[in-house]
Amino acid sequence: MKLLITGGTGLIGNHFIQTYTEHHYTVVTRSQEKARQQLPDSVILLDSLSELDNLDAFDGVINLAGEPIVDKRWTDKQKRIICDSRWDVTQHLVDLFRESKHPPSVFLSGSAIGLYGDHGDFDITERDIATQHDFATSVCQQWEATAKQAEPYTRLVYLRTGIVLDRKGGALAKMLTPFKLCLGGRIADGRQFMSWIHINDMVKAMAFLLNTKNINGAVNMVAPKPVSNQQFTNELASALNRMAILPMPGVVLKLLLGESSALLLGSQRVQPTQLLAASFEYTFPDLKIALSDLLKQ
């Protein structure tokens, strides 16, 4: 397939391109120098979507662009950056779909399980809605609402992504150093659920969705076995042969991160109902197996 990707130098996009080398890629990037160092020479690079008049040259679009939501405190300025980096790119893609005489047949557009909010111990499926309206839910809701405008022109799939585990980046990479130094521990009481997915299963599911023509709408991109924060802590410590004895009190986390601490304190027990119903086969459905694979080196 001829694929247009935004966010192709990020954790997920880069891994997808490196894994599925049979496709022809065009990547939109703000830094061609950085992209050229990371991506295969065969990848075509664009500085901006403004270089395109339409999407007629592509079979599919994967929209992964977006400022990381957990890396910085949510100041008013940072909130604007987080929103604009998602909404503006998505709107530009929708406009290009509208201008296409022969639009791509599939549009995988980024989203996140943050859309659901805190659901406590209850299972969450793609049919559930937000329990409250905080910043994370509003970002994802508008992100999906913008992408929805492309529905008349293509098969649209929202990638409602959980915590993507990869030792080279993302949440797991940030945890490794403190846990290796025995400075890791549960967050608050550790009862909040974490919905995760191995990076290999993430890109495998994306490839599956590109080719499974009867799936559209929201898809929860998570493993089928979410765990509590305490369970995650115990499994990571065990995989590293370390002790995890320094919990992070919730009140301290709120002081350090402010409003964004809700992403770590909220509980989301998300089930990948759409993928399971379509008989998608996970390589790493269990956290212990996933961590063993990621940390085996």
Give me the domains of the chain, ranges plus CATH numbers: 2-165+195-222+269-283 (3.40.50.720)
How do the pLDDT tens digits run along the chain, 297 residues long? 999 999 999 999 999 999 999 999 999 998 888 899 999 999 999 999 999 999 999 999 999 999 888 878 889 999 999 999 999 999 999 999 999 999 999 999 999 999 999 998 999 999 998 877 889 999 999 999 999 999 999 999 999 999 999 998 888 998 898 899 888 889 999 999 999 999 999 999 999 999 999 999 999 999 999 999 999 999 999 999 998 888 888 887 787 778 878 878 889 999 999 999 999 999 999 999 999 999 986
Return the exposure string of 254-282: e unless at least 16 CB atoms fall within 10 Å of the residue's CB, then b. beebeebbbbbbbbbbbbbbbbeeeebeb
Largest Cα–Cα distance of the chain, in whole Å?
60
Phi-psi domain of 94 (left: phi exceeds 0; alpha: psi -120 through 50; beta: other): alpha
Query: Pick from 221, 240, 228: which is nearest to 165 by CA?
Result: 221
Residues in the chain: 297
Beta strands in 30-116 (DSSP E): 44-46, 60-63, 106-112
Q: Can you give the pLDDT at residue 72?
A: 80
pLDDT one-digit tens code per residue, 15-29 = 999 999 999 999 999
- The residue type found at 58 is F
The dihedrals phi and psi of 67, each to the nearest 5 degrees, come to: -60, 135
Q: Can you give the pLDDT at residue 297?
A: 60
Encoded tokens for 23: 């496709």
pTM reported for the whole predicted model: 0.94
Q: How far is CA 217 from CA 87, 97, 111, in A?
A: 18, 17, 11
